[in-house]
Amino acid sequence: MRGAYARLRSAYVWFRAFRRTRPFWGGVWMVAGGWTVLKFSLSSVQLIVSTGFGGVAGYLVGGGMILCGLIPIAAPRQRYTFGLIGCVLAVVSLVVSNLGGFLLGMVLGVLGGSMLVGWGAKRPRAAAGTGAVPEAVEA
């Protein structure tokens, strides 16, 4: 029993360190928004083929939002680029995909994209008594 608890505890410590060094929550919200847009775009293949680009656009926008949420988690230095692209895709989903997943997917995508752009790496703590403000450390 003790071995299982130790493994679970070490996995939690690893995940916590991983989450704190990446724009994790922005990526999660962006993926949730993309999934919502994608879910409300689902229809039969026959209907998608017959409508042309209008039918495929919801899949492209939803899939693009999911990718824009996953890439910054894997490569945090790309957070600005994919955060902005994700925000643009979220706003575009309003037009091309059932009001952006009935507004929920669009709002989640804009929230996640803004969190990706606004994320910054944790700054190291200043030495006690020096009064110096440390520079931000780029991840």
Angle between helix 24-41 and helix 2-20 axes, rounded to 10 deg: 90
Prediction pTM value: 0.80
Q: Is 112 exposed, middle or buried (0-12, 13-18, 19+ CB in 10 A)?
A: buried
What separation in angstroms does the CA of 90 have from each of 54, 67, 87, 99? 16, 12, 5, 10
CA distances from 76 to 17, 40, 83, 127 (A): 14, 29, 11, 27
The candidate with the shortest Cα–Cα distance to 115, out of 82, 67, 74, is 82
Residue 57 in tokens: 């656009």
Asked if 106 contacts 29 with a C-beta cutoff of 8 angstroms, the reply is: no
CA-closest candidate to residue 109, choices 40, 55, 37, 54: 37
pLDDT per residue, tens digit, the chain (139 aa), is 678 889 999 999 999 999 989 999 999 999 999 999 988 887 776 777 677 777 788 889 999 999 999 999 999 999 999 999 999 999 999 988 878 788 999 999 999 999 999 998 776 666 555 655 555 555 5
> What pLDDT score was predicted for residue 3?
84
Q: Which residue has the tokens 């752009």?
A: 117
